[in-house]
Amino acid sequence: MSTVEKKKKIIIPKKTPMPEQEPAVRRRNFEEVPFGYTPEQAQQEAERCIRCKKPSCMNGCPVNIDIPAFIGLIADGDYVGAARKIKESNCLPAICGRVCPQETQCERECSLAKKFEPVAIGRLERFAADYEREQGLIELPQRLPSNGMKIAVVGCGPAGLTVAGDLIVLGFQVTIFEAFHRPGGVLMYGIPEFRLPKAIVEKEVDYLSKLGVTIEFNQVIGKSITIEELFKNLGFSAVFIGVGAGLPSFLGIPGEDFGGVYSANEYLTRSNLMKAFLFPEFDTPIVKGSTVCVVGGGNVAMDAARTAVRLGADNVYIVYRRSRAELPARAEEVHHAEQEGIVFKLLSNPVEIFGDENRMVKAIKCQEMELGEPDASGRRRPVPKKDAYFTIDTDLVIIAIGGVANPLLTKSVPGLELNRWGNIVADEHGRTSLPRVWAGGDIVTGSATVIEAMGAGKKAATDIYKFLSSPAAEAPPWR
């Protein structure tokens, strides 16, 4: 009792800082920005946890990690135990510890957050996962004996990997079908190396492969194999669709077809997946701008802007039509971007892109905006200011304004209900309008976060297990 009281008295108001690369250095390399905690730092941070009787942090976690338990284990010095505790609910902890928006999830619910900075749950998660991996202490969990049933997972991103990880240990055979030649989905093509090293994604995927998950690369389901064939010809008992968001949106302004104008998807895919940042060692080229304008204010816009800095740009601007308060990006990403010298042109909306005689971009014209009444999203609507324009000379424009659902798979599945934006309609368990077909992640919700996709995958996996363990599963798999 007395020790608990003692702990209460010595709460350190701020999180233990995590060492990171200096902005001036990291601007020119693709190495990860934060170095992660040392065991001493992790222990110090874990001891900030006041071990609430009724912890609320878990309520903020889409995959229900037992946060107090793993933090307790770190405080006790059992780092590997902590990693395994996390893995009971989350098969990709090294990834989540890096890319989850903890400030709006677990850390927002932390009791400390009312008066002080919350416990750095994300950093501790990362520490535990990294420690286990770096010490070579990763152990495979016990698998239930094979039940003879096969699950097909379409898409090897965070949702699909979660479904695979959860069901493989329950005795299912799991095959993931991936359109690209590498695993990970957005973790590989979207999030840059300096925020999520690809070696870590590979290790986490490797962990699933060691558990027995099979990955079939270069398979576009709906094209080379249909969903119906997965059931009828290949004998799968259930299908989970987690194909991600899809087609990038453009602004619809003149000049978007000029060379040097990219969707963020293309820019990031060229750099991250195809390794264009290593051109010409790798064959895929990328336009390297000296003055770069990124349009949009989300995490993807920050990733694109920070990639442009590392590819050698002198000036990088974020052009966003609302104000700072509305920026959808995580605070940490905005902070890192500013540290790296990225300039925010807020309340600015592009109206035209100009090109040179070779039809390569040379300037972007923007209109100044002001905030009006709140719109349907509750955010104040940006309203154009009359006759208030400015032009930025630029040789690279990256459009990062989200996208729409990819129809490639959904169009190939008769009877699969879609909403008016083309996203798959799924209930809270991920069930779609078709029997034995579940869906989750961005293809259901539209652009969201890695952890939300994992949360959806987790719920679907639970429901698939429940369904396939019930008498209803006796019905023939297709029609």
- Cβ atoms 225, 386 nearer than 8 A: no
Q: State which of residues 91, 99, 225, 353 lies at the interface with other proteins (CB under 8 A).
A: 225
Q: State which of residues 134, 257, 370, 375 lies at the interface with other proteins (CB under 8 A).
A: 257
- Upper half-sphere CA count for residue 97 (Cβ side, 13 Å): 29
Please tell me whether residue 358 binds other proteins under the rule CB under 8 A.
Answer: yes
- Cβ atoms 319, 293 nearer than 8 A: yes
Q: State which of residues 28, 143, 210, 359 lies at the interface with other proteins (CB under 8 A).
A: 359
Taking the complex as a whole, the smallest distance from the CB of residue 98 to other proteins amounts, in Å, to: 23
Please tell me whether residue 290 binds other proteins under the rule CB under 8 A.
Answer: no
Contact pattern for other proteins over residues 160 through 189, marking x by CB under 8 A: -------------------xxx--------
| H helical segments located in 48-120 | 67-75, 79-87, 93-99, 106-109
The side-by-side arrangement of strands in the sheet containing 214-216 is 214-216, 173-177, 150-154, 238-241, 437-439
Please tell me whether residue 256 binds other proteins under the rule CB under 8 A.
Answer: yes
Taking the complex as a whole, the smallest distance from the CB of residue 256 to other proteins amounts, in Å, to: 7
- Upper half-sphere CA count for residue 269 (Cβ side, 13 Å): 13
Of 19-27, 69-77, 194-202, 248-256, the segment contacting other proteins by CB under 8 A is 248-256
Please tell me whether residue 199 binds other proteins under the rule CB under 8 A.
Answer: no
Please tell me whether residue 360 binds other proteins under the rule CB under 8 A.
Answer: yes
Quick count: other Cβ atoms within 10 Å of Cβ 14?
9
Torsion of CA 164, 166, 169, 172, to 10 degrees: -50
Please tell me whether residue 239 binds other proteins under the rule CB under 8 A.
Answer: no
Q: Which helix (H) or strand (E) holds 26?
A: helix 23-26
Name 349's bridge partners: 367
111 or 219: whose CB is closer to other proteins? Answer: 219
3-state secondary structure (DSSP) of residue 199: helix
Of 31-39, 46-54, 279-287, 422-430, the segment contacting other proteins by CB under 8 A is 279-287
Q: State which of residues 92, 110, 287, 347 lies at the interface with other proteins (CB under 8 A).
A: 287
Q: State which of residues 78, 117, 266, 326 lies at the interface with other proteins (CB under 8 A).
A: 266
Please tell me whether residue 217 binds other proteins under the rule CB under 8 A.
Answer: yes
Taking the complex as a whole, the smallest distance from the CB of residue 278 to other proteins amounts, in Å, to: 8
- Quick one: tokens of 329? 């990006």
Please tell me whether residue 284 binds other proteins under the rule CB under 8 A.
Answer: yes
Cα(100)–Cα(78) distance, integer angstroms: 23
Q: State which of residues 102, 173, 237, 263 lies at the interface with other proteins (CB under 8 A).
A: 263
Please tell me whether residue 250 binds other proteins under the rule CB under 8 A.
Answer: yes
Query: How is residue 158 annotated by DSSP?
Result: H
Contacting other proteins within 295-314 (CB under 8 A):
none
Cα(84)–Cα(90) distance, integer angstroms: 9
202 or 332: whose CB is closer to other proteins? Answer: 202
Taking the complex as a whole, the smallest distance from the CB of residue 204 to other proteins amounts, in Å, to: 20
Cα(214)–Cα(73) distance, integer angstroms: 33
Q: Which of these, 107, 103, 35, lies nearest to 65 by C-alpha position?
A: 107
Quick count: other Cβ atoms within 10 Å of Cβ 6?
9
Catalog residues that contact other proteins under the rule CB under 8 A. 179-181, 217-220, 223-225, 244, 246-248, 250, 252, 256-260, 262-263, 265-266, 269-270, 274-275, 279-285, 287, 358-360, 406-408
